[in-house]
Structure 1
Amino acid sequence: MKVHNLSQTHSILNHFIHQLRDESVQQDRMKFRRNIERIGEILTYEMSKTFSYSPQTFQTPLAETTSHLCQDEIVVCSILRAGIPLHNGILNYLDEADNAFISAFRKVESNGKDFEIVVEYLSSPSLEGKTLVLADPMLATGRSMLNVYKALEKLGQPKQTHVVSVIGAQPGVDLLEEHFPEDTQLWIAAVDDTLNEKGYIIPGLGDAGDLAFGKKL
């Protein structure tokens, strides 16, 4: 798997990541969602450089000209609910893409530490021969993303798979590198070193779903 960690190059992206992490800023839910959306736009722009393009000739009001347009059939699949703002940012640039949604949540055991990833809801078109973009803002253990990928296997073999995340932990990146196809590409804004005993990214930013939409039961 090829990892594109955009934090390794200084850019305005650093400001958006800072605002997501800073607890004095992140309590503004609208700003939190918008920053995830903006990061999704930046990651998508970089990802788009790897797509397939072909020339198309067309007429302007003054002359005939040619543009190179994307030829990939793209499906953007987001993990509910935290993935919604990231999904919106990706769609701002890939506005003609098809869409898929899947639920994946942590079912915590009675000891409060161990958990399993449960996948329930899935809505998706065929993925056969398509360019699949899997979106989840937090790549912690990597188990949610892996379970989602396995759930999608019955829908066809994608031509190419991209994973888009905002913040990840190195153990989660390592898990994807071990189990995803070798030509998978990961587009991520920052990678932290560790997880805590509950599987949350450190320093991370907290629970992205709760910060974006409010606490859940």
Structure 2
Amino acid sequence: MRVLVADHPLVAHKLTVLRDKNTTSPIFRLLTEELVTLLAYEATRDVRVEPVNIETPVTTTVGTGLRKPTPLVVPILRAGLGMLEGMTRLLPTAEVGFLGMERHEQTLEAITYAERLPDDLTGRQVYVLDPMLATGGTLREAIKFLFARGAADITCICLLAAPEGLQKLRDELEGKNVTIVLASIDEKLDENAYIVPGLGDAGDRLYGVVH
């Protein structure tokens, strides 16, 4: 498993504003999209391409096109939806699937409650969107689910990660072709399994609190 932390001043700046508890939901949503586009630039360095013949206004030449099958982008509901626009801005031809997963408040285990994905992902590159890698349980189950469908390799884009969650993924996904792209690795998890210093509940800050 590879872990890449984006080292760019604009990434650090946008993340700082996202962390601020006084940042409003509309600004939070906009900055999340912008930050994901920056992270997606790093995440797609290994996207599969092939040569294509094109004709310019001057001559014919060989360019670069995305190889078939095209990448699949999978936001984890609901917070991952706030990252989708930023990702598809960079990969507009990618297909989009959805995984509905949530963390049980007592056991902290991930529960799958919905999915909309192709039945066969054989040979597909998959990009998973989930803003917070805390305990690692949700992302681990999502990755296992996608590999079970035949995905060739999986890249996860997260805003933040806790060291505990990263270690859990390393331990349980050893030998799997997985890359994690982050804006930051934070200090730790608190007693409620929230990332510290973190930015709070990403879903609530994107869309408001659901009771």
Instruction: Pick the TM interval, shorter chain.
Output: over 0.9
Query: Normalized against structure 2, the TM-score is what?
Result: 0.92
- 2:172 is aligned to 179
- 1:2 is aligned to 2
CA distance in 2, matches of 1:48, 1:67: 18
- 2:49 is aligned to 53
- 1:44 is aligned to 40
Q: 1:153 to 1:69 in 2, by over 3 A?
A: closer
CA distance in 1, matches of 2:122, 2:191: 38
CA-atom RMSD in angstroms: 1.5
Cα offsets for 1:54-101 (capped at 9, x unmatched): 221211223222212221521111110100121221111111111111
Aligned match for 1:34, one of 30, 35, 56: 30
Query: Are residues 1:164 and 2:157 paired?
Result: yes
Query: Are residues 1:198 and 2:198 paired?
Result: no
State the secondary structure of the residue aligned to 1:35: helix
- 1:81 is aligned to 78
CA distance in 1, matches of 2:102, 2:95: 23
Q: Which moved more, 1:202-211 or 1:178-187?
A: 178-187
Aligned-pair distance for 1:153? Answer: 4.0
Counterpart of 1:133 in structure 2: which amino acid? Y
State the secondary structure of the residue aligned to 1:108: coil
State the secondary structure of the residue aligned to 2:135: coil
Runs of 4+ in 1 over 6 A off after TM superposition: none
- 2:10 is aligned to 12
CA distance in 1, matches of 2:153, 2:141: 18
CA distance in 1, matches of 2:209, 2:108: 19
Structure 1 unaligned blocks of 5 or more: none
Cα offsets for 1:127-167 (capped at 9, x unmatched): 11100111101100000111222333442x21211111011
Query: Are residues 1:134 and 2:138 paired?
Result: no
CA distance in 1, matches of 2:202, 2:62: 42
Counterpart of 1:174 in structure 2: which amino acid? Q
Query: Normalized against structure 1, the TM-score is what?
Result: 0.90
Question: What is the correspondence of 1:99-118 to structure 2 with a 5 Å cutoff?
Answer: 99-109=96-106, 114-118=107-111
Aligned-pair distance for 1:108? Answer: 2.0
Query: Are residues 1:147 and 2:141 paired?
Result: yes
Count of paired positions: 208
Counterpart of 2:77 in structure 1: which amino acid? L
Aligned match for 2:91, one of 70, 91, 94: 94
Counterpart of 1:169 in structure 2: which amino acid? A
Structure 2 unaligned blocks of 5 or more: none
